[in-house]
A = this chain, B = another copy of it.
């Protein structure tokens, strides 16, 4: 198909995009029902959903499972070179952060986690699963895996707090070298259901391996971000 050819899907995208960019639909505003929209554009729901899917891929709109389509708020700037943590980063950008702990327990480490934490086979690790919001919107699902040798009794603390702060104040451990790996992919089942979005929605998976001031691997994070919630910003010095 030629790109300049008029196409129902493209036409719908353009029309909706225009409405959104001109602010006729306020950010975080809800779009009309799919059946209403398909009627409005004189097409079927399948076609209409194809168009919505493209706008979702662009990051202009997003959906909440069975609740409908919404205009995406601005992206959060995420700078891996700046040592910060979720709450500080969000607050600095005049947004409202929130964290909830989904689970926190000692679990047998998977093969993948053993490798990341440089632990022998069949090790146990602390697993902390959290969901995080910006301005009320669920944007991030994280699994933290901590080497238990360095953090005895950490499950007793309030884990909605920043782990960074907890490490420093309770264990005298600060972050040293950090390795980031960022992969554009789709949300897996558990992340998707936590963020209340459809399985297979586009996402950015960020894996962090954190060392302390002595160079020891202390923990790793598996982060699943809604793909439209962030942009990565890196300033490389001379």
Contact = CB atoms under 8 A, between A and B. Distances in A.
A59 B234 contact: no
Interface in A172-198: 176-186, 189-190, 192-193
Given A3-B189, A3-B192, A228-B184, A236 B177 contact: yes
A232 to B, nearest CB: 4
A75 interface: yes
A202 B202 contact: yes
Given A3-B189, A176-B238, A177-B238, A57 B201 contact: yes
A237 interface: yes
Contact of A57 (B59, B176, B189, B202): B202
B227 A184 contact: yes
Nearest to A233: B181
A110 interface: no
